[in-house]
Structure 1
Amino acid sequence: MTGGLTILLSGGDVLDGLGGPAVRADVLVRDGRVVADGRPDTAVDVTGLTVCPGFVDLHSHSDLTLLSAPEAPSKVRQGVTTEVVGNCGLGVAPIADEADVPELRAAAGYLDLDPDVAFGWRGFGEYLDALTAARTSVNVAALVPHLPLHVAAAGWDDGQADLDRLRGLLTESFEAGAAGVSTGLCYGPLAHADEAELTAIGEVAARHGRLFAWHLRDYGAGLMDAVDEALRVAERTGCRTQLSHLVSVGRKNWGGVAAALERIDAARERGVDVAVDVYPYLAGNAPLSQLLPAWAQNGGADAMRARLADPDVRERVAVAWRDLPWTWDEITVSRVPPGSPGSPDDATTGRTLAEHADPAEAAMDLIQRHGNAVLAVGTGRSEDDLLAALRHPVSVIGSDGLATDPDGPTGAGLPHPRSYGTYARLLSDYTGPGRLSLPEAVAKCTSAPAARAGLRDRGVLTAGRPADIVVLDPDTVTDHATYADPQRFPGGIALVMVNGMIVVDGRGHTGTRPGSVLRTRGEAL
């Protein structure tokens, strides 16, 4: 902790976050900000270490876990100082007056790891108030998730959306301080959202100068069509657009990322403001229910689960699954909700679906019992695709992970290691010849994602800015989290400051929770 002390970080190699080379310099922090001069109360010798801005996680799913684990150990201990939640269209606010809160909560089961977290809000501003009251260790900015907007405007099936209702709810959320909006077009019922609905969202985002982030309709054989849809809406509306976790899944679709980037480059040449984010892993993580066809997800989680009791429905799903880009040995169950001892789920976590006698039946059994709360890790991605995305000049890093506490309710199961190791993995495994320079990598974690989110005062280390700072050893920074043992903190992170207070030091988390909720006013913070 620092209290009101003026702290000098002396002798470090300073990266300002803008991509330029390191400069040997001292950094002085007072009253939560970096200052140009003054007399320090205490000094920390960081000679031989790299000092850089705190990492801005543009793609986080910590919407609810921060209310359960406000110290955010899995994120802050890898250098994350700002989380942008509300991604992939999944989220918990705003909740329309007539909304069924348990049904909405079930639909966002991917985010909901602690049943003791109470939903005490309706409007988006009230949700931000709940985050403020939690006193998190990290700063938080939030996107408006498409899911509750669509449910309020169109219901749980394939009904036509009331676009005026949708625009009104989104506008109210922006006025309450949301940094942008997101969609997730492979999740029911968002799969039914048509281009007119997406255009309406883009128009409101453009009018308010906010980000529109897309979990695309398809990351397999239909990736190009999905990218084209997002680019059409971006060009038509002029909104700032982010294509989330750009990847091409399934071996037969390898090479798709390079092709998608060519289309993105062409759109940017036409003046479209579009960029991408990516995480440095060859496996993803999502609700197992994401594999279901859209029609099977209709009606919300309860209807989906009831539908899977029908043998004819199961046969239709099994037939649809024959065209999956994955094979069953590439899908590992990573988390099921805690159940009673001796339940059929006890031996499921950590096993691939291929290890079951009938993988499709096993998958449907899990979804029928637990809905959207069953999580799975999917492998089968291309290193060349990942490198193409990482090296592209408009790509930024987003973990796609959650802030969790390995000793609390959010720490159950085998979460994707990205929640613990994204930034250390990038700096250790993806810097060097043929990859990224250290300054480039740091910029993709700091100033670049902050700019995409409209966070003008974050992501750059210079006098006058908030003192969100990471001190690391580039020679020893290491990701220790693995798929088999994911809840391990990285090495090489010596110190993390949030708003001028030390949250992580050589002993671990200090217990300090100085984060702020960053509410956008006007067009940017």
Structure 2
Amino acid sequence: MFAQPEEIRALAKVVARHEGIYATHMRSEGGKLLEAIDEALDVARVSGVRLQISHLKTAGRANWGKLDAALDKIRAAQKAGVEVASDRYPYTASCTDLDVILPTWAAQGGRVAILARLRDPDERAKIRAEMAAARDDKYWESVWIGSTHHLANAPFAGKPIAVAAEAWKLPPLDAALRFMETDELFTGGIFFGMSEENMWRILAEPWVMIGSDASIRAPWGPLSHDHPHPRAYGTFGRFLRAALDGKPVSIGEAVRKMTSLPAEQFRLKDRGAIRAGAFADIVALDPKTFRDLATYEKPHQFCEGLSAVWVNGVATFRDGKDTGARGGRYLV
């Protein structure tokens, strides 16, 4: 977020020499989306590095109309020889730390410095005034709370921030600042700000692979203790279900986007294909019953309709049950 383009270009040249990849969570996905795409493409052109634009989106209603220009820029770069691809998840809400909405100056200096500003009455008032000027009351209707850190905040996980605001008798903006302070910047924010039409158009592009933008979760044990975005469980199932139902691409293309396309882009040898000599990573499912179940309110739910799963040739799931076998290994 704070690195300058010159620094990124210099680092990308080193990455390119080692045949690596530059995966960028761009400087902007909303108001400065087109400028951010230009910057990312410029890094790739100057350095020769392969470029991965992470989670391509048009965030915020005011930016929905920028999709054509965004896609045109990427296609033109591809025609000019720039190796660029992207990824996307099939949801219209994003998820990140709630404090991403702080003014840029207020988010600098690390956790200790940010919390000090939030706990200083004068600094907090300055932050509040700037945030209030940048976002109207309607904005807060699109904000939900994800994971929380402080026990007292846990009841609001998976709910609109308006629920907490009402309980605390605060405006939503002040509720957001309270979450940030009491959770010590560990509050997850879920932001409903994307166009469904644009989402499907992006997902249909042949160079866009499917990616969850989520870390590993489980319905039990230590990995079940937070409240993630449903994409952590439902991304691939949701997209495949859409393809089975006729949109936005064929079933074969949907599978390619989840398997061989990312394997090729990230140079994962012998992955993403079923052939002699490749690693046997295989999913068997019932196309009639297969679907995602995870929701924003109840995200810790696996897809249903799976028959079996093999990881590196090891049966890890069969007949609706975890076999206990562990076939996973590091990807190198």
What's the TM-score bracket when you normalise by the shorter of the two chains?
over 0.9
| More displaced 10-residue stretch of structure 1: 502-511 or 388-397 | 502-511
**Partner Cα distance (2:109, 2:286) in 1:** 50
Deviations along 1:333-377, whole A, 9 cap, x unmatched?
A: 1111253xxx3x243323322341221221112112223421111
- 1:358-377 → structure 2 map (5 Å cutoff): 358-377=171-190
**Partner Cα distance (2:269, 2:193) in 1:** 37
Deviations along 1:291-331, whole A, 9 cap, x unmatched?
A: 11222122211111111112232233223323249811111
State the structure with bigger RCO (CA 8 A, min sep 6), 1 or 2.
1
C-alpha contact 1:258 1:385 (8 A) present in aligned 2: no
Q: Secondary structure at the match of 2:155?
A: coil
Q: Secondary structure at the match of 2:217?
A: coil
**Partner Cα distance (2:114, 2:243) in 1:** 41
Q: Secondary structure at the match of 2:40?
A: helix
Identify which of 153, 157, 160 aligns with 1:352: 160
Q: Across the two proteins, how many residue pairs are aligned to each other?
A: 325
**Displacement of 1:475:** 2.3
1:315 counterpart residue number? 125
Q: Secondary structure at the match of 1:308?
A: helix
Deviations along 1:187-217, whole A, 9 cap, x unmatched?
A: xxxx221011110221111011011101111
Deviations along 1:441-469, whole A, 9 cap, x unmatched?
A: 00000000111111021001101111111
Shift in CA distance, 470/206, structure 1 to aligned 2, threshold 3 Å: same
**Displacement of 1:430:** 4.1
C-alpha contact 1:246 1:257 (8 A) present in aligned 2: no
1:235 aligns with 2:45: yes
Runs of at least 5 residues in structure 2 that lack an aligned partner in the other structure: none
1:186 counterpart residue number? none
**Partner Cα distance (2:294, 2:310) in 1:** 22
C-alpha contact 1:241 1:275 (8 A) present in aligned 2: yes
C-alpha contact 1:306 1:368 (8 A) present in aligned 2: no
Q: Secondary structure at the match of 2:156?
A: coil
Identify which of 387, 406, 410 aligns with 2:219: 406
2:316 counterpart residue number? 503
C-alpha contact 2:58 2:66 (8 A) present in aligned 1: yes
**Displacement of 1:486:** 1.2
- 1:252-401 → structure 2 map (5 Å cutoff): 252-321=62-131, 322-324=133-135, 327-339=139-151, 343=152, 345-355=153-163, 356=165, 357-401=170-214
C-alpha contact 1:304 1:368 (8 A) present in aligned 2: no
- 1:74-153 → structure 2 map (5 Å cutoff): none
**Displacement of 1:502:** 0.5
**Displacement of 1:505:** 1.1
Deviations along 1:2-34, whole A, 9 cap, x unmatched?
A: xxxxxxxxxxxxxxxxxxxxxxxxxxxxxxxxx
**Partner Cα distance (1:432, 1:205) in 2:** 41
Shift in CA distance, 489/203, structure 1 to aligned 2, threshold 3 Å: same
**Partner Cα distance (2:211, 2:224) in 1:** 20
Deviations along 1:389-420, whole A, 9 cap, x unmatched?
A: 11111100001112112222221243111111
C-alpha contact 2:13 2:48 (8 A) present in aligned 1: yes
| More displaced 10-residue stretch of structure 1: 261-270 or 296-305 | 296-305
More helix by share: 2
Deviations along 1:72-111, whole A, 9 cap, x unmatched?
A: xxxxxxxxxxxxxxxxxxxxxxxxxxxxxxxxxxxxxxxx
C-alpha RMSD of matched pairs (Å): 1.7
C-alpha contact 1:277 1:397 (8 A) present in aligned 2: yes
Structure 1 letter corresponding to 2:159? R
Shift in CA distance, 201/420, structure 1 to aligned 2, threshold 3 Å: same
Structure 2 letter corresponding to 1:318? R
**Partner Cα distance (1:195, 1:500) in 2:** 44
Structure 2 letter corresponding to 1:490? C
1:197 aligns with 2:7: yes
**Partner Cα distance (2:233, 2:21) in 1:** 26
1:107 counterpart residue number? none
C-alpha contact 1:215 1:245 (8 A) present in aligned 2: yes
**Partner Cα distance (2:316, 2:45) in 1:** 42
**Partner Cα distance (1:454, 1:512) in 2:** 27
Scaled by the length of structure 1, what TM-score is found? 0.60
**Partner Cα distance (1:320, 1:408) in 2:** 41
Runs of at least 5 residues in structure 1 that lack an aligned partner in the other structure: 1-190, 520-525
